[in-house]
Structure 1
Amino acid sequence: MVRFYKPIALPSPRDQLDITVAILRNRQTEEYYAYENNDTWNIGLRSHASLVIDAHGKKATTIDRHGRRETHSIHEPINDMARAFSLEHSAHGKVFGQVGFNYSAHISGQAYIPGQWPMLSLMAPCVQVAISRNGVTVTGHDEDEARAVFDLIQTHRTGGNTHPVPDCFMSIDLEAHPDDYKTRVARAVSEINKGRFTKVVPSHIVRLPIRVDMLATLYHGRRANTPARTFALSHAGIEAIGFSPEVSLSVHGHVAFTEALAGTRLLDAVDMKKLTHPLLADPKEVLEHVGAIKGSIARLSRLCSPDSIAVKDFMSVVHRGNVHHLFSHVTGCMLPGKDGWDALAGLNITVPGLADEENLEAIRVFEPRPRELYCGSVLMLDGAEAFEAALALRAIFQDHDRQWLQAGAGVTSLSDPEREFAEVCEKLSSVAPYVVGQTGSS
């Protein structure tokens, strides 16, 4: 077994985001993850070992640090494979990963349309960096590689080898081509009124004309947003960055929590003297949030003692970028033998409080394209007792030949297609102004 070297420590940088982006830019031709949790950025550089499940959930590929690949058919539950991989490699540090939206359908045996992105991918990095207010630590499977990252950080801290972050922002018309989305919303309202569904969350895609400079977008977008978690990834042929408004699941020790976030108002439209009034006085938004709380409780009931589940910060108002949301914190105590993988299948259900089957049928009916990572989760795992999953929202997605933004809105019997499209644009506008085009892209 390769030895995992003791951490190399440095004093805390003045600007954690600045040094994070500098490290990622220096290694951007390699695979990486970055995950911001509270005041700490955790970075994983270059794959030491990877597990990739294909979009159909039928093939698993393992990749070692030298790029050697082994692919085989899957004959066991995917969550068991993922659990085994993460436990094996967490002994040497954190494991990062992503689960696509279709993961829940696959695990629960429901029908789905496969996309092009991996259903699940996990990466144990060669080098790990933790950047917090208390300092910087660097660890690595290869001492020379870890030392090179340490030297880069040291140089950056002393003002050497710094370059301005590009700021050639794209011009993105979020309100172009609204008819498709409004038509789907109107059809959803009609089906809800017929009793087929109680709620639907259709999403809207905005295609971007040129390649995205993902790290410049991370830099500028994080400056302008107030996310619950931030993530950036380039692994297994896909790229994403996001300013997630919501923690899908966080497990530390024997305590787990999730967040109910539903109900949206544009920040500019809120009377600051009556900050809580517009959302709390809107029956649709309140009803939507109550459903989200029920969904969060159901999510935790998969791995927590029912008597321990509690709701805190009930229906408070939180600021996420350019919008406000209704927010509740739901927490519980873990049952013996349970871990985050036991709840993961329900993390990306888009209509909280409804049965999985009804959720997934609503997506199939009102969503014309596979969701890929949108409304899936980005993961950071640390041993058997630490499991972090950020909902993949307020994000930019990019692969070899596509780049896009995506957002959705909750549709009920009270919904108006014009208002739902406006809400989608409000959510997209927390990201769109900060998308930087890649130099030389056309």
Structure 2
Amino acid sequence: MFSMKHLYSPWRRLCFKTKKLPPTPRWMCNSNKSPDVVSQGTDQKRAPINQVTKRHKQQRSPCQPVLDHFEQQYSKELADLWASARAVLLDPHSWQYGVMLNRFSTVTDITQVLLSQGFFTLLPPTDVSVLLKNGSSMVSGYKYHEQKDILLPSHHTFSYSGEDVHPSPDSTSSLSLPHPSLQCYIHPSPLRFPSPAHRPGQLKQYYLLNAASLLPVLALQVKDGQKVLDLCSAPGGKALAIMQSATPALLCCNEPDPHRWDWLTKTLESYLPHSLNSRVIVSAQDGRSVGASEADFYDKVLVDAPCSNDRSWLYSGNSQQGEQRLQNRARLPVLQAQLLKAALSAVRPGGTVVYSTCTLSSLENYAVVETVLNDFPEAEPEDLWEEIAIPLSKYFAFSSHPSHGQTHHQPSLQPQSSTVSSYHRRLGILVVPQHD
């Protein structure tokens, strides 16, 4: 497996695993980093919890310069797959969201409502039957305390003081935390569950996000007691997913942008109990410097990198904004490569790094991975096809894509055998937007 593991798509990840070369770390890198398209609750009026609303088609027009650019680039890179992907991107009504349950809050009522409305679980229902049988949540005693000190605040600097900042793996059980269980529900129709209401003194019960955003977290495979870095963490959806999957000794959520930092801290405060204060912390350092300041420190690193978010960019406010974004697009691969290199330096020998984006662009996906691998020969890429693509092919359309737009090997949504170049698959998996 590659020391970087990655999947691409409007939601992609990359995974690397480092070889055992004496002086350097060994890593797996899964990738899916870029500003997540997360549907988080707003302050507008919300539908009752037992009412699922049908999404109304947005009365917005696509930005023509961006659409023209996509037509030119993706018709070459995706070939026949572009037509269906284009149709989904141009139809907001078809965009699907997932409902991720919060194990630190009472979720039983939500589970029953979801099932009654036709939602089904995306992942194996390890604990759903237990929840329904008991008629109550596995944890109901957690209360949300509205205090700014719930997370370590630092808009400008952040550092660790040795091992004192986080507890040992053996202390996990002393917190009496509910059993980790990542539960996400999706619906076969374009229905959207209402945003979670704010309940004073209580944690929110669920989080809305695009279900594909969970793929990088699944590829990361966080275990209890590990030290994890979410390098580009805002708005916080993947950090929450990590905490649903395991109880790490330390989860550092990094976000240098002040506005997004505030957004991230509010998200974490709304979903995680005060008892996790010493384990979940927020930093605001430049992600490119983490390799120097925290070398070989983490077991797992997620690089959900800033990217040219296709779905958002397609609906830029006006042509001028669209043109400006396209100009900036050319500079993103340099930043992405710097962040990925920093992550590979920050992970311990044998650790895992996952790289992901929210764009279909091969220049921000496969090309970035290849560039970084040239500088990190000790990083061993992992093939995620058997681990991620095949088990979840019922819900997502995966594709292996040749790097640099080589047209002699067109991407395909068909199951791929060993005859298909494993090299291309190890460079990443693309999740292609498809109806339903």
TM-score, normalization by structure 2 = 0.27
Higher-strand-fraction structure: 1
Higher-helix-fraction structure: 2
